[in-house]
Structure 1
Amino acid sequence: MTQLEDWFVRDTGLNATLSWLLLGIVASLATITILSDQLVVAGFAIAIVAVGIAPAVASRSWREMLPFPFLLVAALPLAVSVFRPDVATEFVSALSIATLALLLVVDLHLLTAVRMTPGFAVFFVVITTMAVAGFWAVGAGFAHDMWGTPFVRTNDQLMYVFIAATVGGLIAGGVFRWYFRRRERADARFAEEVEYA
């Protein structure tokens, strides 16, 4: 197992059960939103399910899943909903997208030859969060024009949405970097204890 896999893939029955339950709810929500023509929300839900099941598919073990709390944070916008865009909702969405981006990094480690240092993984999380916010705005604007779904009313509101996404991505990136450093120190202490044992 590589460092990021060891930090993020859990092989416990409780974590797997909670993760599969959450992903089942998200998949059901994806189906409902597709039927009600909320394609932006459906796309996000499908992305969460795809990223969430990748470790189990790669390991061929239903127990090897990403940590339930990370999946829960990634699914938060589906609970908060994006039907009335405002800065608070977009901030929650940005944190969730950042979490999803981090989990995508872990999946890339599992399924491909791509390897990232923890520092670059944090940078990737921040940039991905900002990029997804842009695509999200384009998709929400398209849905507003086509189906009359709610969308921000002014350019100022749209800029606040982008600012919230950037701040959310930076905060999440900082938290993840702190987590990586904490885990690196714990791994180093464990290696020293093993060496002296």
Structure 2
Amino acid sequence: MEDENQGSPQSRPRSRRQMIEAQLSWVTSLILFFSTIYVTLRLDFLWIAFGIVSLSLYVLPIVTTRDPFKAIPWEMTALVSSPILLHISEGSRALSENLAWWDDLTALAFAFSLSTIGFLLTVELQMYTTVRMNGAFASFFVVMFTMAVSGFWQVGEYIGGLVTGNMLIDTNGEAMGVLVYASAGGIMIGLGYGAYLKVMGRERR
């Protein structure tokens, strides 16, 4: 029993760096949590689903290992939080009117929202299960996941517009533009996948 207690996650000594990284991860997860509450109050159903899925991916390794220090690395949590924050900022008239490029930047939020979820799925499989993927297959998975979910997302927005009477997609060109952004975002995240795992310290896996 004594040896078992000494090997438990809670009894293992943590370095200063691990403590700081864990705290940064918890802070960024709170940003994601409150952003999800905000879109929930606005009844923004697609982004509610995004927030719930992202939070589930964040909590899963903590619950599975019963170790709060097994949370997703803070930079990944920040990456998955940024799209929903950019989406929320779309309602800022000051930003939209004063920054000509802001609308294009917020359009990329959709692309990164899907690609980061695919990225998180592959990373969690690598970090917290016995499943292993080579870099090429993992990158391919992220790209295909992003493009596939993007198509379903467009259908959801169209059906939602029919139900609420507030069409979110005005033209076919706009829909195709979103798909192009999604494809580009998936490729960018997919290509960065292998590089990220190489620079990640082994103790963080």
Aligned to 1:26, which of 32, 54, 67? 32
Checking the alignment, whether the CA contact within 8 Å between 1:122 and 1:176 is kept in structure 2 is yes
Q: 1:41, 1:78 within 8 Å by CA — same for their partners in 2?
A: yes
Distance change in 2, residues 1:148/1:20 (3 Å): farther
Instruction: Kindly state the Cα deviation for residue 149 of structure 1 after the two structures are TM-superposed.
Output: 4.5
Are 1:140 and 2:140 counterparts?
Answer: no
AA aligned to 1:119 is: A
Q: Which runs of 4+ in 1 moved over 6 A?
A: none
Corresponding letter in the other structure for 2:54:
I
Q: Work out the percentage of aligned pairs sharing the same amino acid.
A: 29
Q: Which moved more, 1:39-48 or 1:93-102?
A: 93-102
Q: Which residue is equivalent to 1:125? A: 142
Cα distance in 1 for partners of 2:61, 2:159 equals 33
**Shift in Å, 1:154:** 0.3
User: For the structure 1 residues 62 and 113, does the alpha-carbon distance in structure 2 shift closer, same or farther, using more than 3 Å as the test?
Assistant: same
TM superposition shift of 1:113: 5.0
How many Å apart are 1:37 and its aligned residue? Answer: 1.9
Aligned counterpart, 1:50: 56
Structure 2 counterpart of 1:162: 179
For 1:146, what is the secondary structure of its paired residue?
A: helix
**Quick one: structure 1 residues 65 and 42, their matched pair in 2 at CA, closer, same or farther if it must change by over 3 Å?**
same
For residue 152 of structure 1, report the CA deviation from its aligned partner: 2.4
Deviation (angstroms), 1:106: 2.4
- The runs of 5 or more residues in structure 2 that have no matched partner are 1-16, 92-102
Tell me whether 1:98 sits opposite 2:124 in the alignment. no
Distance of 2:154 and 2:77 partners within structure 1: 23
Cα displacement string for residues 121-146 of structure 1 (whole angstroms, at most 9, x for unaligned residues): 11111111112211221222222222
| Count of equivalent residues | 174
Structure 1 residues 5-55: Cα deviation after superposition (integer angstroms, max 9, x where no partner): xxxxxx822222222222233223323433432110100011111111222
- What's the offset of the Cα at 1:109? 3.8
Q: 1:50 to 1:118 in 2, by over 3 A?
A: same
Q: 1:156: Cα distance to partner? A: 0.8
Corresponding residue for 1:75?
81
Q: Is 25-34 or 43-52 further displaced after alignment?
A: 25-34
- More contact order relative to length (CA 8 Å, sep ≥ 6): 1
d(CA) in 2 for partners of 1:74 and 1:155?
28
Post-superposition offset of 1:59: 1.6
Q: Is the 8 A contact 2:39 2:48 kept in 1?
A: yes
CA distance in 2, matches of 1:14, 1:49: 21
Partner of residue 36 from structure 1, selected from 21, 42, 58: 42
> What is the alpha-carbon distance in structure 1 between the residues aligned to residue 186 and residue 113 of structure 2?
9
Larger Rg over CA atoms: 2
Residues 47-56 or 74-83, more deviating: 74-83
SS in 1 for 2:68: coil
- Amino acid across the alignment from 2:185: G
Once the two structures are superposed, what CA deviation does each residue of 1:134-189 show, in whole Å capped at 9, x if it has no partner?
Answer: 12212222222223446121001111110111111112212223444x449x98xx
